Homo-oligomer: A and B are copies of this chain.
Amino acid sequence: MNITIKKIAEDLQLAVSTVSKALRDSHEISAATKARVFAYAAEIDYMPNPYASSLKRGRSGNIAVVLPEVADSFFSAAINGIEEVAQAQGYHVMVYLTHENVKTEQAIVRDFWNGRVDGVLISITSDAKDYNHLSELATRNVPLVFFDRICEDLNTTSVVTNDQECGYNAARHLIHRGCKKIAFLALFDDLSIVRKRLNGFQQALREYNFDLQQNPILYLTNDERFNKEQIRNILESKDRPDGIVGSVEKVVMQTYDVCREIRLSIPNDIRIIGFSHLQIAHLLNPSLTTITQPAFEMGKMAASILIKSLTKKSSMIRKEQIMIPSVLIERDSTK
């Protein structure tokens, strides 16, 4: 049972209202009484219910992080960054996983409309088509910051990396290594970050006079079996690609699996570069050339902006994009 104001009042033989006012440091209560109440409250470890005081302030002290998944190394590093900032600022982090299901995302976000959390950090699902559940947050004065997977239509801050440039760099890297036909492994067809990576990829192909029609794009999903079948089909075709850009970590790992199964040697038969935050990319067989995203820093930045807005009177966040660049790290898979 929680220690309540009532118990303090009983033990000190004071009125409940007196104790309550004393704890709020009211001028109506004498300094002597306040001192007695504070001393006793400290002695018995009295702490008010956080949500009782939050209702008065209109703040719960909780912030939400909504992610497609947590198994991906990008998202676990981002949580680390978010948590570091939140802990330092006395905020509590609630983590929600959408599993790439927009219905789940909508149900989760609807729960934020009325004070469950003070603010929201989100990396959206790939299949979101309308964003009413998110725009409603602004109407209800719940600030929102996007990171990584963003929705550009909404009027708020997004923390991103240089996806287009990295798509370009990935393709150019493979072209410089001698690749003549490069496949791009996309995740879904409507995710803004994947679209940008693809745009950069195609820009490089055009600059180097590659025929876009000859360099296939595979639209993969969350279904591992489906993905591997698609990857296998393309790698077993007669005019198979000799280079692959994997737009997210899991499709790169699936490509590694398929190459083993059909005994294609990386990088001799096929060169692979992947967008990934994997800490052990250098320990893979062969070690993987990566576009490494600043996941921890992106999480930290997004949380800082959100929490800063919460300490202001108006919690509205201006529309801007903050870009933290990724790094291409060359390893054996593109040698």
A55 and B141 CA atoms in complex are apart in Å by: 22
State whether A62 touches B94 (Cβ < 8 A).
Answer: yes
A48 and B55 CA atoms in complex are apart in Å by: 12
A256 and B110 CA atoms in complex are apart in Å by: 46
Say whether A285 faces chain B, with CB atoms less than 8 Å apart: yes
A164 and B50 CA atoms in complex are apart in Å by: 41
A117 and B83 CA atoms in complex are apart in Å by: 17
The size class of the interface chain A forms with chain B is 35 or more
CB distance from A334 to the nearest CB of B (A): 16
Say whether A316 faces chain B, with CB atoms less than 8 Å apart: no
Please give the count of copies of this chain that the complex contains. Answer: 2
Residues 52-83 of A, flagged 1 when their CB comes within 8 A of B and 0 if not, give 10110000101000000111010011011001
Residues 268-306 of A, flagged 1 when their CB comes within 8 A of B and 0 if not, give 000000000001100111110000000000000000000
CB distance from A143 to the nearest CB of B (A): 13
Do A95 and B94 contact each other (CB < 8 Å), given the known contacts A55-B49, A87-B104, A114-B48? yes
A54 and B284 CA atoms in complex are apart in Å by: 49
State whether A93 touches B92 (Cβ < 8 A).
Answer: no
Residues of B within 8 A of A54 (CB): 51
Say whether A113 faces chain B, with CB atoms less than 8 Å apart: yes
A287 and B113 CA atoms in complex are apart in Å by: 47
